[in-house]
């Protein structure tokens, strides 16, 4: 049985992402959860930015599938907390999580 995220669909979000921008991470336009990928309503999926954002989120789907949902969430949170303990501020700690770097690289390499 594949993890739930393997069957993830990409959905529009007009609620989740504004809440995340306000309370979790400034500027975030997409998020991958164990139950699906959400892309902000403002993003044009056909634009280069939209395609790279979706590629970024699909890399997170691959990470969920590689490690399993709970293990991936644990590894991701552990890296964030390590970064915080190393003295990084919230945004920097998030940015330096290796899984985020991997997703950024996948998005950068996308040919659009
Ligand atoms: Zn990411």
Residues 6 or more apart whose Cβ sits within 8 Å of residue 55 = 106, 107, 110
Helix (H, G, I), strand (E, B) or coil at 11: strand
41 C-alpha to ligand 1 centroid (Å): 17
4 C-alpha to ligand 1 centroid (Å): 18
pLDDT digits 0-9 by tens, 70-91: 999 999 999 999 999 999 999 9
101 C-alpha to ligand 1 centroid (Å): 8
Angstrom distance (rounded) from CA 80 to CA 84: 6
28 to 42, 66, 95: CA distances (angstroms): 12, 24, 11
pLDDT digits 0-9 by tens, 9-61: 888 888 889 999 999 999 999 999 888 899 998 999 899 999 999 999 999 99
| pLDDT for residue 9 | 80
Alpha carbons within 13 angstroms on the beta-carbon side of residue 29 total 14
């Amino acid at each position: 049985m594949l993890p739930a995220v393997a069957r993830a669909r990409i959905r529009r979000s007009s609620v989740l992402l504004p809440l995340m921008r306000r309370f979790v991470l400034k500027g975030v336009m997409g998020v991958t959860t164990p139950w699906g990928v959400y892309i902000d309503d403002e993003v044009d999926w056909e634009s280069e930015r939209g395609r790279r954002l979706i590629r970024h989120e699909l890399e997170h789907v691959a990470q969920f599938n590689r490690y399993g949902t709970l293990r991936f969430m644990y590894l991701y949170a552990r890296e964030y907390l390590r970064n915080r303990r190393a003295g990084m501020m919230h945004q920097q700690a998030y940015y330096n999580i290796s899984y985020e770097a991997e997703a950024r690289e996948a998005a950068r390499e996308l040919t659009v």
